Chain A
């Protein structure tokens, strides 16, 4: 662990996390397929986890705060994806499409 902390500066992990998060945001905003949007959300969540773990290891290795945070995030992400996929399945069976641009019944 110590070799990584000395060899690789913290900023690299933060930049990685940021890039991953941005890609995820782009995916959420620009994708038309609902499942792909979900994948992008997963990407965002994982980016955040990387960020948390990096900070934990680099700044307070003995506390494990960030690592525990990441564990929670993974759990919640899993549950949320299960729920989301169920909803998407329902919409697909109801509307015949998984394209979020076409699911706009709640408009004015």
Chain B
């Protein structure tokens, strides 16, 4: 069904609108009233409306059965007999989930920013770059070929860097932006190599064609393995999996709406999207799904443990994002695409909620460290409860949205091809997550205020900030219910979530209720919350004793296992040292000996030669005579 003649094939319009908004804002925003934020918001609203229209179209197409996505492309470059590249869009269920999350959260963030970023010096630039970011992200998820995806991917990284470094009068922000860009670059190189390998082996950039080639065994095994690992490396970079996770916590230097949009709901899930999209290829290689799951699981636990000791609320939420992303990869590794996408969907809401609520706290108290917060529950009657809702959703308490997603992941792991060990580890991660989320809630909103000045200053935020919070809170509560068929049908889809988004190799599923998994997961979450309350509740005396019990562990966690310092050492002693060696070679051999040396040799020859010009006539006469003699000998001498 189409609305005003707009259907899936017209999806190419989606990135164009925010890109146009970006261009307009870039050029004339200083002269627009309110620096043009209404333009960005209006365009985002229109884009979101178009996403709804496309959603309706997809829902109907799936209802007819046998839906495998709609592609539409145009010739971009054609050298007959050599290369043909076509650019276009591909829309299927995964795409729909992504474009919905991106545009919806972007819309809420833009509205929220009218309050949070109010009066800022670079207000217009902020809205321009957010628009560009949305355009780029839509390009990534709509692209039907890897080249276009890569272009959008890079652009997304650029926007992330620009926005992290938004407060350009702060050295730390510039450093964080550089770190983010360079770290994701390491992944991006892998992605590019993977794309090139695939193009070389299949002759096309088109994703569907490549997936068919991979499944049918048309690609050689070694190259397929290499390409799969390289593509996953790209996903690790953008989605901040170990060992490329170091940029995400530092990215909190950017404004909080940026963290909510880019580093929670959208850009960091680009890696998840890539893996989900290329899953048939990745599953065709033995060992790659295990690799994905392993790294995801490691990141989950690494982030959870580090988050236990962080003192900045934004950092804690950042580490919780890493935690969630790890779980998404764990799900994808076992082929549970529906579960992973469900978690992506619900995570977009509760994580954005957590960030925006944290931003509300920061806006109100001008403080970010929990050492200066506390007792804000009574002072912020909207922000505090919604933050708690977000935290509980994150922990996975039934019936909030996070629970349904984690439940599906656990069910998927139980049925999945990987061992029960992964399932057990995932169960163990539940109470740890609940623990650190409870900690941050208690330290921020309960207990005695630790800084009177911040406490006095605290006030509830204006409606343009609290209304998006409330919307997201509602969604954090109910968005998990889409697994039910009834809810799905009420929204216009023909089934619940798992019948809509599923692993193409396995087919649509229905939601089943698995009793023991539910009971165990809820019990573990409640256990984690209770332990958190016990340790950090009230005066938090047990927390102090725990920290004193093992200062080494506490320091390890607080300093993020010194991974950043390790990288810095590696950069200093390996990368920069190699650079020094090359620089010395370039200076001494190429420049001094080669370029300058040749010039100076010529100079010297000239200097030596000039001494023949004595100006004395007898010398010249002698030269003439000698010359004649030589000619005589050479020309006539051997003819005797």
Chain A residues close to B by CB (< 8 Å) = 25, 28-30, 37, 100-101, 103-108
Contact, CB under 8 Å: B615 / A106 = yes
8 nearest A-B pairs in the assembled complex, by CB-CB distance:
A107-B615, A104-B615, A108-B610, A106-B615, A108-B613, A100-B617, A104-B616, A107-B614
Q: Return chain A residues, CB-CB under 8 Å to B615.
A: 103-108
Contact with B611, one of A25, A37, A105, A108 (Cβ below 8 angstroms): A108
Bitwise, B578-618 to A at CB < 8 A (1) or not (0) is 00000000000000000000000000000000110111111
Q: Return chain A residues, CB-CB under 8 Å to B625.
A: 25, 29
Q: Return chain A residues, CB-CB under 8 Å to B519.
A: none
Q: Does B635 contact A (CB under 8 A)?
A: no
State the Cβ distance, B497 to closest chain A Cβ, in Å.
92
A–B complex contacts, Cβ < 8 Å, 7 sampled: A28-B618, A28-B621, A100-B617, A100-B618, A103-B617, A107-B615, A108-B613
Q: Does B634 contact A (CB under 8 A)?
A: no
Contact with B616, one of A25, A30, A100 (Cβ below 8 angstroms): A100
Q: Could you tell me the distance between the alpha carbons of A83 and B613 in the complex, rounded to whole angstroms?
A: 25
Instruction: State whether A101 and B622 are in contact (beta carbons under 8 Å apart), knowing that A108-B610, A108-B611 are contacts in the complex.
Output: no
**CB nearest neighbor in B for A28:** B621
**CB nearest neighbor in A for B614:** A107
Q: Could you tell me the distance between the alpha carbons of A78 and B617 in the complex, rounded to whole angstroms?
A: 21
Chain B residues close to A by CB (< 8 Å) = 610-611, 613-618, 621-622, 625
Q: Could you tell me the distance between the alpha carbons of A40 and B621 in the complex, rounded to whole angstroms?
A: 12
Q: Return chain B residues, CB-CB under 8 Å to A37.
A: 617
Q: Return chain A residues, CB-CB under 8 Å to B617.
A: 37, 100, 103
Q: Could you tell me the distance between the alpha carbons of A108 and B617 in the complex, rounded to whole angstroms?
A: 14
Contact with A29, one of B611, B613, B614, B622 (Cβ below 8 angstroms): B622
Q: Could you tell me the distance between the alpha carbons of A39 and B622 in the complex, rounded to whole angstroms?
A: 17
Given contacts A28-B618, A29-B622, 17 further A-B pairs with CB under 8 A are: A25-B625, A28-B621, A29-B618, A29-B621, A29-B625, A100-B616, A100-B618, A101-B618, A104-B614, A106-B613, A107-B613, A107-B614, A107-B615, A107-B616, A108-B611, A108-B613, A108-B614
**CB nearest neighbor in B for A106:** B615
Q: Return chain B residues, CB-CB under 8 Å to A105.
A: 615
**CB nearest neighbor in A for B612:** A108
Contact, CB under 8 Å: B616 / A101 = yes
Q: Could you tell me the distance between the alpha carbons of A10 and B621 in the complex, rounded to whole angstroms?
A: 30
Q: Could you tell me the distance between the alpha carbons of A14 and B483 in the complex, rounded to whole angstroms?
A: 125
State the Cβ distance, B466 to closest chain A Cβ, in Å.
89
Q: Could you tell me the distance between the alpha carbons of A16 and B610 in the complex, rounded to whole angstroms?
A: 40
State the Cβ distance, A76 to closest chain B Cβ, in Å.
18
Q: Could you tell me the distance between the alpha carbons of A106 and B610 in the complex, rounded to whole angstroms?
A: 12
State the Cβ distance, B606 to closest chain A Cβ, in Å.
11
**CB nearest neighbor in A for B624:** A28
Q: Return chain B residues, CB-CB under 8 Å to A106.
A: 613, 615
Q: Could you tell me the distance between the alpha carbons of A105 and B617 in the complex, rounded to whole angstroms?
A: 11
Q: Return chain B residues, CB-CB under 8 Å to A103.
A: 615, 617
State the Cβ distance, A28 to closest chain B Cβ, in Å.
5
**CB nearest neighbor in A for B616:** A104
Q: Return chain B residues, CB-CB under 8 Å to A107.
A: 613-616
Q: Return chain A residues, CB-CB under 8 Å to B622.
A: 29
State the Cβ distance, B605 to closest chain A Cβ, in Å.
14
Q: Return chain A residues, CB-CB under 8 Å to B611.
A: 108
State the Cβ distance, A27 to closest chain B Cβ, in Å.
10
Q: Could you tell me the distance between the alpha carbons of A103 and B619 in the complex, rounded to whole angstroms?
A: 12
**CB nearest neighbor in B for A32:** B618
Q: Return chain B residues, CB-CB under 8 Å to A101.
A: 616, 618
Q: Return chain B residues, CB-CB under 8 Å to A30.
A: 618
Q: Could you tell me the distance between the alpha carbons of A100 and B613 in the complex, rounded to whole angstroms?
A: 15
Q: Could you tell me the distance between the alpha carbons of A61 and B617 in the complex, rounded to whole angstroms?
A: 40
State the Cβ distance, A25 to closest chain B Cβ, in Å.
6
Q: Could you tell me the distance between the alpha carbons of A104 and B616 in the complex, rounded to whole angstroms?
A: 5
Q: Return chain A residues, CB-CB under 8 Å to B616.
A: 100-101, 104, 107
State the Cβ distance, B375 to closest chain A Cβ, in Å.
92
**CB nearest neighbor in B for A104:** B615
Q: Could you tell me the distance between the alpha carbons of A103 and B615 in the complex, rounded to whole angstroms?
A: 7
Q: Return chain A residues, CB-CB under 8 Å to B618.
A: 28-30, 100-101
State the Cβ distance, A90 to closest chain B Cβ, in Å.
15
Q: Return chain A residues, CB-CB under 8 Å to B621.
A: 28-29
**CB nearest neighbor in B for A101:** B616
Q: Could you tell me the distance between the alpha carbons of A100 and B614 in the complex, rounded to whole angstroms?
A: 12
Q: Could you tell me the distance between the alpha carbons of A30 and B611 in the complex, rounded to whole angstroms?
A: 21
Q: Could you tell me the distance between the alpha carbons of A37 and B618 in the complex, rounded to whole angstroms?
A: 9
**CB nearest neighbor in A for B625:** A25
Q: Could you tell me the distance between the alpha carbons of A82 and B617 in the complex, rounded to whole angstroms?
A: 19
**CB nearest neighbor in A for B613:** A108
State the Cβ distance, B610 to closest chain A Cβ, in Å.
4
State the Cβ distance, A64 to closest chain B Cβ, in Å.
27
Q: Return chain A residues, CB-CB under 8 Å to B614.
A: 104, 107-108
Q: Could you tell me the distance between the alpha carbons of A101 and B621 in the complex, rounded to whole angstroms?
A: 12
**CB nearest neighbor in A for B610:** A108
Q: Could you tell me the distance between the alpha carbons of A80 and B16 in the complex, rounded to whole angstroms?
A: 91
**CB nearest neighbor in B for A25:** B625
Q: Could you tell me the distance between the alpha carbons of A37 and B617 in the complex, rounded to whole angstroms?
A: 10
State the Cβ distance, A98 to closest chain B Cβ, in Å.
12
**CB nearest neighbor in A for B611:** A108
Q: Return chain B residues, CB-CB under 8 Å to A104.
A: 614-616
State the Cβ distance, B160 to closest chain A Cβ, in Å.
66
State the Cβ distance, B631 to closest chain A Cβ, in Å.
15
**CB nearest neighbor in B for A34:** B617
**CB nearest neighbor in A for B617:** A100
State the Cβ distance, B618 to closest chain A Cβ, in Å.
6
**CB nearest neighbor in A for B609:** A108
Q: Return chain A residues, CB-CB under 8 Å to B613.
A: 106-108
Q: Could you tell me the distance between the alpha carbons of A30 and B621 in the complex, rounded to whole angstroms?
A: 10
State the Cβ distance, B182 to closest chain A Cβ, in Å.
57
Q: Could you tell me the distance between the alpha carbons of A29 and B611 in the complex, rounded to whole angstroms?
A: 19
Q: Could you tell me the distance between the alpha carbons of A96 and B403 in the complex, rounded to whole angstroms?
A: 115
Q: Return chain A residues, CB-CB under 8 Å to B610.
A: 108
